[in-house]
Structure 1
Amino acid sequence: MKPVGYSFLNSYYTLTLPKLGLEVYQDPNSDKGYTQTFGASNRKVLSKFNGISESPYEQMVAAIKHQGIRLHFFAAIFKVVDVVEFTNFIQQKPNSKYNRVLWYLYEWITDKKLELPDLKSGNYINLFEDEFYYTVHNGEKDKRTKVINNAIGTRDFCPTVRKTPHIKELAKINVYETAYAEVQKLGEYLSADVLSRSINYLYTKETKSSTEIEREKPDKQKMQRFLNSLKNIGLFALDKSKLIDVQNQIVEDSAKATDYRTCEVYVGSTIQRFGFIDEDVHYIGAKAEHVHSMMDGLFKTHERLMLDNNMPALIHATVISFGEVYIHPFDDGNGRIHRYLIHDVMKQREPEHKFIIPISAAILKNTAKYDQVLESISKPLMSMLRYDLDSENNNTVVIHNDIDYMYRYPDYTEHVQFVYEMMNAAISTELVEEIALIITFDEIKKSINKIADIPNAQLDKIVGIIINGKGVVSKSKQAFVNQYIDKNRLETVQQQATSIISYIEKTIKIDVQKMMSK
């Protein structure tokens, strides 16, 4: 088996980049191509008739043909490529589609010009193929190479999202329309008052859940400040000053930032082993010297997608929010800002929607999946990073190699799938269940208020008892309830309670008793 494309280039240039989900090889003994499973990845095997030379430049063409454009690979290659040889290769066929793409990629990523004259003829071609990637519809035309840059990002920060069959199906889903459809199933019981009360609760739940994901004990003041930030999503332009303002709202006073961090930062935990204290480093943020340019690229990517307005809003929210958390621009608060950004971008793209979908509550129930999707970027990155912890200087991180391209040019395909899954889970559980619970409480309270005048505290307790019994007061609770409602009237209340609980459970397929116990 002979490596082809990125596998070849990885070895040829000694890049030590982690392998891709799809690698390409050539079988010199096979008359036809085939695909095979190879551990956690797949191999596309070309037949012996696919003549690909050992030239690294021909292999660059093969990489794009068979595996698409992987920006982090080309960014790493262009740091070490023989520019004269590369230029000569382009010059042999300057009008070739793949040569023009390689030419443009080099000048765009490096911000340096090759010693080549501008093209005088030929049609414009797209940098990324719309069939396989999410792109902007009106990219910038480069007159020199006649390539249209339809990437969703910029030189400083450019994530990619591949149009896999599953992602294309997910992208058809409008999560807000799905949420409205689920809520409308509750029919006549749904009212503006019920929606308003549920929205207030969901903002609070999202605030609490986002804090708990960080494994922190929620602080009342921080919770209130984060809640206020969430209630103002979409009202302000998303830029550096706004992000710093949000960071200041959600961290301790001592951790408030006035600018991006100037030192290296890591996420980890302290482990005590045999009397020694060790730091288990899970992730290291982008080098401090690159944070400004990467965050500038992130905001320009957001602006680019806002103006284009064609990428599904939830994919837009995913690439911006995960971009922030991987860059890690602040010493503290990055995780909560990341989840705040999902809501803020969604609100900016679709301001007509009046309620929040509590995605953090769904993530909190699926932290293993969340860790897994975060590690799809962090594990390969950390495997390449060379660093030390300076034990004499509060375990400050010292980074020895610069792999900025791993932060600048991520693939967020898996992240998009995860965010859709969490949004759908949040709709079917947190959102709909909360509205259903409010309706159930209201209807049972109405039936009790018609026959008895009971103080609110006791009334709420009685309603809770009835819901926990699925419409029936258990024997152990009857003495308490009978202090306020006599046995004959209680039968009527129980019948009405059973009826509303049955309606709710059949309508939205949930167990009210379990919902009450959460």
Structure 2
Amino acid sequence: MAKSDQFSRLVNEFHGRPSPEPMRTAGYAALIDHYALRVPLPGRLTGIAERHHRIKTNDWQLLTPRHAPADDLRGHLEFALKWEGVDLGVLSALFRVVPDEEVSALLRTEPTGAYTRRLWFLHEWLTQRLLDVPEPGKVRAVPVIDLSQQFGLAKGVSSSRHKVVDNLPGTSAFCPLVRRTDRIETYLSKALDRRAQEIVGRTPADIMMRAAAFLLLDDSRASFQIEGEKPSPQRAERWAKAISEAGFRKLSLADLERLQRIVIGDTRFVNLGLRTEGGFVGTHDRRSQEPIPVHISARAEDLKSLMDGVVAYDQRVANVGIDPVVVAAALSFGFVYIHPFEDGNGRLHRWLIHHTLAMAGYNPAGVVFPVSAAIYRQIAQYKTVLESYSQPLLGLIEWQPTASGNVTVLNETRDFYRYFDATVHTEFLYQCVEETIERDLPQEVAYLEAYDRFAKGLQDIVDMPQRKVDLLHRFLRQGQGRLSKRARTGEFAPLSDAEVGLVEKLYEESFADVALEKG
């Protein structure tokens, strides 16, 4: 188990992550090091600086020497909860190597302590094994998740045995967590859902209805483009309909399987439903045809319990005061890391975003935020966010290639997909949601208002059927406000030169603020 009695050590880097300056490991870093835990590193680690000053970066929080914990299991566990919050992946791995008797003895030294009771609950919650610890008596229940550090349920479930309030957002089968960061707090302060309601509220109903239809189809097409596919109009419309229905019913595995059939279209060469073999994302060596994975999916034998956990998470967080964008990020990225199906996982991952936001009433009724379109515009950053967790996992997963060019995972990996830090995923999703509300939604409304001005003004110049108006507008958009020679000698040859001049001027005036965006 442990190689020495010392937990903390002086380092300049930790598992390949450089520290801002020399420091002593503490909290989760000390526990990972001391017990040689093979786990993904927490998103932000904490250490003790040699000097009396504090440093905070994206990867590190350095505290002063006076904050140093007692250099033992209890000291570093309490330090971790106090300064770093709950990391279920680290705690689960730790409780597998530290004997229950040792944990019980540690907890019995101060059974009424707040950190003791939280650790007691988390041990039994993670391991499903009861510890020999006396009940704490009449003490005030404390929340398992400190809501000043991480997102949890606003109102949890009391555990009379541990005298805690279980406000974890998920169950032990699936429970990603999100840290509170300055960036997320800034997004929360913007109340983007109310901002969307304001835009919709001041937009005429007929224009909003048309804008919503265009945004929905944009999202459907973009979701295919992210996967490198160009769907037929019919296939894009079918998926758009599925997106429009997101949030209408509770999540279930059966519904996800139904959606997989819709998104795949031609199912003759795909095994539908949960995978029965291993899975990975990546390519194959051109000569040997061996897999070159960039992500290895959850084992097939773990899929049923993991997906039950995903469904339970969705039900547990419904209408309990946790931010919908946080929930959407944790649920959707958790799903795509599990990769439960042979095909269609990416589009279903983004469908889950729509499902979560719609279930929470975050987006205005009838309006789908084109999150996939925003993701597609930032595809490189999206891949970086995905790889922020999948890449470190590759070094922790033992696998071998199969004769069919797939992978077989050799070690226990279920916790990697049950418990992960979804903070950077939440920051990215909030960025996309803000962009759809502050850019896509207003621009689509402005574009349709400009089109209506153009169509109305055209009636004063020339009388033509609506299909011809649409065609004329399309030619002008393609020509950046000018009718091409082909159009003037073809479909619109009947227009005089004077009429063409008036039409082009009308287009310029109508689309003065939006033509470049849509052109």
For Structure 1 versus Structure 2, the TM-score category normalised by the shorter chain is 0.7 to 0.9
The separation in 2 between residues aligned to 1:385 and 1:443, in whole angstroms, is: 59
Paired letter, 1:384: L
Paired letter, 1:355: V
Unaligned residue ranges in structure 1 (runs of 5+): none
The separation in 2 between residues aligned to 1:259 and 1:487, in whole angstroms, is: 61
Residue 454 of structure 1 aligns with which residue? Answer: 464
Unaligned residue ranges in structure 2 (runs of 5+): 1-9, 11-23
1:324 equivalent to 2:305? Answer no
Shift of 1:318: 2.0
Shift of 1:337: 0.6
Shift of 1:270: 2.6
Cα 1:462/1:307, change in 2 over 3 Å: closer
1:14 equivalent to 2:36? Answer yes
Residue 515 of structure 1 aligns with which residue? Answer: 518
Residue 365 of structure 2 aligns with which residue? Answer: 353
Residue 104 of structure 1 aligns with which residue? Answer: 121
Cα 1:396/1:277, change in 2 over 3 Å: closer
Deviations 1:396-420 (A, max 9, x none): 3211211322211111111111111
Cα 1:482/1:63, change in 2 over 3 Å: closer
Deviations 1:401-459 (A, max 9, x none): 11322211111111111111112223344433333333323322222233323355544
Residue 215 of structure 1 aligns with which residue? Answer: 228
| SS, match of residue 246 in structure 1 | helix
Deviations 1:296-350 (A, max 9, x none): 1221111111141x12222222222222111212111111111111112212221
Residue 185 of structure 2 aligns with which residue? Answer: 168
Residue 405 of structure 2 aligns with which residue? Answer: 395
Paired letter, 2:518: M
Q: Which moved more, 1:398-407 or 1:469-478?
A: 469-478
The separation in 1 between residues aligned to 2:240 and 2:56, in whole angstroms, is: 50
CA contact (8 A) 2:447 2:511 kept: no
The separation in 2 between residues aligned to 1:234 and 1:83, in whole angstroms, is: 43
The separation in 2 between residues aligned to 1:432 and 1:234, in whole angstroms, is: 24
Cα 1:80/1:381, change in 2 over 3 Å: same
User: How does 1:199-238 map onto structure 2 within 5 Å?
Assistant: 199-219=212-232, 222-238=235-251
Shift of 1:473: 5.1
**Which of 243, 266, 274 is residue 260 of structure 1 equivalent to?**
274
Paired letter, 1:462: L
Paired letter, 1:193: D
The separation in 2 between residues aligned to 1:235 and 1:36, in whole angstroms, is: 42
User: How does 1:77-476 map onto structure 2 within 5 Å?
Assistant: 77-182=94-199, 191-219=204-232, 222-251=235-264, 252-254=266-268, 259-272=273-286, 275-308=287-320, 310-350=321-361, 353-390=365-402, 392=403, 394-454=404-464, 456=466, 458-467=468-477
The separation in 2 between residues aligned to 1:383 and 1:218, in whole angstroms, is: 36
Residue 485 of structure 1 aligns with which residue? Answer: 495
The separation in 2 between residues aligned to 1:250 and 1:471, in whole angstroms, is: 37
The separation in 2 between residues aligned to 1:494 and 1:348, in whole angstroms, is: 45
The separation in 2 between residues aligned to 1:399 and 1:476, in whole angstroms, is: 60
The separation in 1 between residues aligned to 2:411 and 2:131, in whole angstroms, is: 26
Paired letter, 1:159: P
| SS, match of residue 253 in structure 1 | coil
Shift of 1:500: 2.1
Give the total of aligned pairs: 495
CA contact (8 A) 2:247 2:356 kept: yes
The separation in 2 between residues aligned to 1:202 and 1:44, in whole angstroms, is: 45
Cα 1:398/1:498, change in 2 over 3 Å: closer
Q: Which moved more, 1:195-204 or 1:470-479?
A: 470-479
CA contact (8 A) 2:451 2:511 kept: no
Paired letter, 2:62: K
Cα 1:19/1:318, change in 2 over 3 Å: closer
Paired letter, 1:485: L
Paired letter, 2:338: I
Identity among equivalent pairs (%): 27
CA contact (8 A) 2:149 2:180 kept: yes
Deviations 1:223-271 (A, max 9, x none): 3432231232222221121111111211132366664223221111234
The separation in 2 between residues aligned to 1:116 and 1:208, in whole angstroms, is: 56
Cα 1:197/1:16, change in 2 over 3 Å: same
Shift of 1:78: 0.7
Q: TM-score, normalised by structure 1?
A: 0.88
Shift of 1:167: 0.6
Cα 1:285/1:481, change in 2 over 3 Å: closer
The separation in 2 between residues aligned to 1:232 and 1:429, in whole angstroms, is: 24
Deviations 1:345-381 (A, max 9, x none): 2122218511111111111111111111111221122
Shift of 1:119: 2.4
Residue 501 of structure 1 aligns with which residue? Answer: 511
1:46 equivalent to 2:64? Answer yes
Deviations 1:92-126 (A, max 9, x none): 11111111111111011101001123222211111
The separation in 2 between residues aligned to 1:66 and 1:427, in whole angstroms, is: 35
Cα 1:141/1:83, change in 2 over 3 Å: same
CA contact (8 A) 1:22 1:44 kept: no
The separation in 2 between residues aligned to 1:241 and 1:175, in whole angstroms, is: 32
CA contact (8 A) 1:358 1:426 kept: yes
CA contact (8 A) 1:214 1:335 kept: yes
CA RMSD of aligned residues (A): 2.6
Cα 1:183/1:231, change in 2 over 3 Å: closer
Paired letter, 2:493: Q
| SS, match of residue 298 in structure 1 | helix
The separation in 2 between residues aligned to 1:227 and 1:129, in whole angstroms, is: 39
| SS, match of residue 421 in structure 1 | helix
Paired letter, 2:340: P
**Which of 65, 72, 82 is residue 89 of structure 2 equivalent to?**
72
Residue 4 of structure 1 aligns with which residue? Answer: 26
More helix by share: 1
CA contact (8 A) 1:470 1:501 kept: no
